[in-house]
A and B are shown apart, each in its own frame.
Chain A
Amino acid sequence: MTHYEPVIGLEVHAQIHTASKMFCRCPVVEDTGDLEPNTYVCPVCTAMPGTLPVINRRAVELTIMTGLALNCEILPVSRFARKSYFYPDLPKGYQISQHGLPLARDGYLEIDTENGPRRVRIDNVHLEEDTGKLFHVGNVSLVDFNRAGVPLIEIVTKPDMRSAEEVRAFAVKLREILVYLGVNSGDMEKGVMRFEASVSVRPVGSDELMPRHEIKNLNSFRALARAVAYEIEQQIKTLESGGRVTQETMGWDDARGVTYTQRTKEYAHDYRYFPEPDLPPLEVSREWVESLRRQLPELPDARRARFRAEYGLGDFETELLVADRAVADYFETAVGLGKVSPKTLANWITGDLFRLMKETRRGIDEIPVSPEGLVDLIRRVEEGTVNLNTGREILEEMVATGKEARQIIEEKGLAQISDEVALREIIEQVLDQHPAQVEQYLGGKTQVAGWLMGQVMKATRGRANPQLVRSLLTEALEARREAR
């Protein structure tokens, strides 16, 4: 029986989060779904005759930085090109893209696979503009150009991936890097990243180029991985039953979990690229590249290694902290205050804070608890002002109200009772209320002490310092033995 090997390449489109569009000064606004159509447009991004594009420098810089982060060569001369196709979401009848001379090419991204790390080669990284949006109503379509002209970065890989899992790992890692670079918000639900996968299968050992299926418009990691897995399975079935796979453009039906042949002429393959006459070439000097390299933030892999070495954290908590740049920054700010150990902070953040963020559906930069506020709370637990359980309740209150720990402790009277006189009084009351249990204890059933301890904690609404209660309770019981 023949064994088959999938061959998969990816094209990733990600919006670049600049303040203004790629070739005009219209603001780039977040697509919240309820934006009024055509309220962020101008003559340039709606392709009025006589208008001219001007390149947004920041978009170029972020693309070069992405190229550097993906270990690419940055081309000394780069150029924009017109990619012609006719679809009403494209007002000019062509998209300004790059062809032949992209900003960056020949890089790689290393991913973890079940067979160890593997390099996925990057063919090129280039810059282009997004299209508008169409709404189909009966036999007409409505066009909204708010998104038209938003800068898009396109990352094209070589066909180096061999399974749906590898494709997913690549996409997840790429998203992480784009978020770290500040290129993209990573907010997949808002459509800021889109994938196209090209999938073929061939007999293991062969390096023949097989006809591929290109699956368009995959907007989530889940859809991407499912569509690729489905295609691999279908193509192997076709080949095993003696059929042939033909080159095709496919869509993905997420509800039914199947790919389907796209019959639209939307994706004509002859784009008649030619150099954009309205945009002079870009000369990217070594100095410019080096100054951008210096602006690169620490990338996720380097940060992971450092978190393990510098803070002594394990793989699992490191992964949880580093996956989101805002969380990793929060953690490091908190560690930097020098009052709480990294390990303790990691526990609080990946435990209670993550749970509360999830419950309130907020990111770490959206909750009203600052790193200083969290450290202050943990110190109060460590110093014994409040016990651990109370501390966790206070954190919940802090997330809900934005109040400081000190204020909540005062308002609710949560401070741990470490006043010996007060505790002795409470213990005596509890012992008086439960003479039977006291008798049992004095009769040798010492485990009853635990139950009595629970009664004391209950009487103090959990605020008593447990170590102190334990020793004072033993003292009080022994005093009763002597008094008999």
Chain B
Amino acid sequence: MRTFFLLLPDRSLIMKKYILDFKVLSNQAINYNHNLLELSCDRPLPPMLPGQFAEVRVDGSPGTYLRRPFSIHRADFAMNTMHLLVKSVGDGTRTLAQLATGAIVNIMLPLGNGFPVTENNDVLLVGGGCGVAPLWFLARQLKQKGNRVSILIGGRSYRDILLADDYAQFGQVYVSTEDGSLGEKGMVTHHTLFKKGKLPFTTIYCCGPDGMMKAISHIAEKQDIPCMVSLENTMACGIGACLCCVVDTKSGNRCVCTDGPVFNSNELKGWSAETEVGCSINE
């Protein structure tokens, strides 16, 4: 049984949402299939929380009708800039990856609930592949709130490990790759961090492929550590209007776009009973 809860605030109803035009300040390819988009806005950025996301309209891609959801990777309120980390998977993301400096992007934000941020604790962040996207903003806030942050990043090979050096400013970074080309060899869930008996963390935050998040939440559950996972269900509206993005929870179907994308894994049906620990980052 979990000994304590981290309350996930339903901020989606109280944080005002905006539709804003952002300008691309820079677009940097950070590996073979990920781009870091730096965006600015001509009005002050609205308040946003780590774990919240944005719905981006993709212009100039005839095959992309709906907006595309992306985590808010970084929000710098002093500089009034925001970063999105985009993995090219289909027409929409490939079009965003080709955006030129100066291009205008229409974005709806901030959406969803965001991660609960603890204070003065030891926390572990686990990111698989592109799942590191929401963890930058989160790691920074966790550090600001006096937490000791450990970050475990996993991928198939060294080419898939994103921003490991960058994350080092927030805490201890651990890396694992399936082919052993960087960090420990094996799946994130087999990292030696998890083999030292009782984990020294009060909360685990996790984002990545479902299989990885399930395996991590299973480890967390065995040790009574709350595990916050960020889901990526397919969405049509992103604002709770269509009911397309639901996840099966202990309190029925809930919208990932408004009640999530962050959930305590113990709320999710079919997540706690998983016995298979270990999974591939392969999506």
Whether chain B is bound by chain A comes out as no
